[in-house]
Structure 1
């Protein structure tokens, strides 16, 4: 597996390495989809930081409450991330060494 792209945040690079290793992503298309998903992840985190700092709602010059535009960025980035992860077609079923439910269930 290749190394994570440098333009991703530290959190996204860790995820890139973990997902890439767990699912043995070595093909160019898989790496591109994962990079796209994590770019959207970074955008989502940036929007979440703006929302945390300024709030989800603000009052405009007419004293009317308005949604913070960062809420739209967060929503759209989350959708883009999930779409890219779905396109990777990863098997999300936990690995088991025996039939039946995992212990503790």
Structure 2
């Protein structure tokens, strides 16, 4: 079955979905769950990046520190990702969000 990878996914998530499609024979409902898992992973990464920029706390209107809203988004998205993977029953690693190695990786200058 031919599955079309959504264009809104991040490049690492697209690669991950392609890898899963190549490694497993997925029905259409499995593919939809896989895309939702990739969505959840991307959302957790977006929230994590926001937290890195802003910090884990933010002041409310009275100046009292509270948890940054992205903390809950990251947590919820990670839980959704884990649950979707469990539902799919795939033995697959999460998308690798690290940048690819360059030709000069490990060389000393």
TM-score category by the smaller chain?
0.7 to 0.9
2-side partners of 1:76 and 1:42: how far apart? Answer: 12
TM-score by length of 1: 0.78
Q: Which runs of 5+ in 2 are unaligned?
A: 93-109
Partner of 1:5: 6
2:90 corresponds to:
90
- Equivalent residue number for residue 30 of structure 2: 30
Distance 2:19 2:30 in 1: 14
Q: Deviations over 1:52-94 (max 9, x none)?
A: 11011122232211100000000001111111111001246xx
Aligned residues: 91
Where structure 1 has 5 or more consecutive residues not aligned to the other structure, the ranges are 93-105
**TM-score, normalising length from structure 2?**
0.75
In the other structure, the counterpart of 1:95 is none
Q: Which runs of 4+ in 1 moved over 3 A?
A: none
By relative contact order (CA 8 Å, sep 6+), the higher-ranking structure is: 2
Larger Rg: 1
